[in-house]
Chains A and B, each alone.
Chain A
Amino acid sequence: MSPSPAPSTDALVLADATVAYGRVAALERVNGRVPAGRTVALIGPNGAGKSTLIKAILGLVPVVSGAITVLGQAPAKARREVGYVPQADTLDADFPVSVAQVVLMGRYRRIGWVRRPGAEDRAAAAAALDAVGLAHRARERFGTLSGGQRQRVLLARAIAANPRLLLLDEPFNGVDAVSQDALLAALAKLTAAGTAVVISTHDLALAHLACDDVCLLNRHQFAFGPPAATLTPELLRATYGGAAVELGAHGVLVARP
């Protein structure tokens, strides 16, 4: 485990948190801390509670026991500084909105009600779009981009507000290699500047490659720690149930995520 810095600089603290929809607990007793500038991967099969945890960090799903602390505050209060990147394929490809307009959406909260975006907002949006390598597509309709490019635009949208904590829900699903690179590059720049990142993903190799810590989840937490310690065959088998297959000493293949 990496040395834990003083709690007040942690972007995210999960203290024995149990998250529930109504009476049904979706996720029980999750622990962990994400300091500034660090990246955590949430790994687990479908229905494990990864999206639920992300929603709880956003303050959209109640924490019934334990606590989630975001940037030293309750999740709902910290929203202004938390960025969220959903999966791009849930969005309507025919929607008459340009790439630049989508990125600008990330600034709405800052702009406030009724007022129009100003020069500062446009500049922040342009910079964010540049950070994901799509500045040259700014004027085109969002739906004309490829899936991976759309995902990058959504990341730019979240970056435009200069978040201190960034949550990404399965950002690499169905994304081509070029866009994956672009996403990772942008995230690298963000973490270098101090933003903490939480990514839920199935891609074990990417988690290994890009993340400081891994959190294994399947309605309970199975591990929280660096990839080397957590992405082991035993832990993965425990997390995924019977869906993991060992490949000798070199790793584990997850057959049915």
Chain B
Amino acid sequence: MSGSLGTLLTVPFERPYLTRALIELLLLGGAAGVVGVFVLLRRLAFLADALTHTVFPGVVIGFLVSGQHGIFPGALAVGCLSAALFTGLAATRRVAEDATLAILLTGFFAVGVVLVSRRSSYTSDLTAFLFGRVLTVDDGDIVTTAVVTGAVVLLLAALRKELLLVAFDPQAAQAAGYRVIALDLALNLSIALVVVAAVRAVGTVLVIALIVVPAAAARLLSDRLLVITVLAALFGMASGWIGLLVSYQVSVDHGIRLATGATVVLVLVAGYLLALAATAARARSRRAAPGALPGSATHPALAGEAAGPAAPSATDAPARAAPRGPVR
């Protein structure tokens, strides 16, 4: 093996197209990781997936109207529209939300496919929309991505405590006077914006992995929201970096074609499995040492074990036996 870790880290800066691809993936990975945390907390993974499908006809319409430069505005318009639509839908509570989302998701997507197949040479365009073409992003694309992801991260940072409250206890949020629908709309728009920004580089099919997996892996590794958010962003960015470089080296050294977007997703999944393994190993070592206190359980499967009434009550304060009968 004539290569080294050092080469891996410096190669992106030797080839301009790789540098651009790397910057694009870092921006997307970081923003998607952060958005993903809120998607996880508010349990919106399915809605996020639906958004990636509904954005697709916007991509196609924009492309049909003004070529490559029309993709972003088209996706943006339809993405925001879908986000508003889904938010309104969730608010009505009349129709089963999952089913309605599924119908909208497939309907929109089919419209997109019908539109794109009317062009006689459509498969390369279709593939580019679905899976992205990160190696040919230009400076304009990077600026657009930076602006959009920056706006999303700023918005989420500004609203973070209210979004936390709505995710944790929407009833209390409403009781406190917050308009839950408006906050949901802000979050859904953020998701839509990340999806739109990612279309060029990773494509609509793979962006959902970039949103969901880093946050899920980070959740396995920590209980604290700030740590989870930072880990998710780092994990998203690291996966972009590693995926780009693995697909690069495999292509250059072995002549094997590994689509960059898909490789990034594989790295994401591998990272998640590592986190899962690390958590399981730690759980096993803790079970072997029963002196550990219950408060540090993190894996969801173990949460029930620690939340049982027996252990925590022992550390509580039974100052006196409570009188149960009427006391005047």
- A residues lining the B interface (CB < 8 Å): 58, 60, 76, 79-80, 82, 84, 86, 90-98, 101-102, 105, 108-109, 111, 113-114, 116-117, 133, 136-137, 140-141, 143-149, 154, 157, 176-182, 205, 208-209
**For residue B41, which residues in chain A have a CB less than 8 angstroms away from its CB?**
95-96
B115: interface (CB < 8 Å): no
B67: interface (CB < 8 Å): no
Q: A105 with B164: in contact, given A86-B171, A145-B307, A178-B317 (CB under 8 Å)?
A: yes
Closest A-chain residue to B327, C-beta based? A209
**For residue B175, which residues in chain A have a CB less than 8 angstroms away from its CB?**
58, 60, 79, 82, 84, 86
Q: How far is the CB of B247 from chain A (nearest CB, A)?
A: 33
B158 touches A114 (CB 8 A): yes
Instruction: Give 9 A-B pairs besides A79-B176, A82-B175, A92-B168 with Cβ atoms closer than 8 angstroms.
Output: A58-B175, A91-B169, A94-B303, A97-B225, A108-B176, A111-B161, A146-B313, A178-B313, A181-B320
B303 touches A205 (CB 8 A): no
B168 touches A91 (CB 8 A): yes
Choose among B171, B174, B322 the residue that contacts A180 (Cβ–Cβ < 8 A): B322
Main secondary structure of the interface of A (DSSP, over half): helix
Choose among A84, A94, A96, A97 the residue that contacts B176 (Cβ–Cβ < 8 A): A84
B318: interface (CB < 8 Å): yes
Give the number of residues in B that approach A within 8 Å (Cβ atoms): 46
Q: A109 with B176: in contact, given A93-B303, A181-B322, A209-B326 (CB under 8 Å)?
A: yes
Bound Cα distance A111, B318 (Å): 35
Q: How far is the CB of B56 from chain A (nearest CB, A)?
A: 32
**For residue A180, which residues in chain B have a CB less than 8 angstroms away from its CB?**
322
3 closest A-B pairs by beta carbon, nearest first, are A84-B175, A140-B295, A181-B322
Choose among B164, B177, B303 the residue that contacts A79 (Cβ–Cβ < 8 A): B177
B90: interface (CB < 8 Å): no
Q: How far is the CB of A156 from chain B (nearest CB, A)?
A: 13
A146 touches B176 (CB 8 A): no
Q: Which of B146-162 contact A (CB under 8 A)?
A: 158-159, 161-162
B224: interface (CB < 8 Å): yes
Bound Cα distance A178, B313 (Å): 8
Closest A-chain residue to B225, C-beta based? A96
A108 touches B162 (CB 8 A): yes
**For residue A209, which residues in chain B have a CB less than 8 angstroms away from its CB?**
326-327
**For residue A101, which residues in chain B have a CB less than 8 angstroms away from its CB?**
164, 225
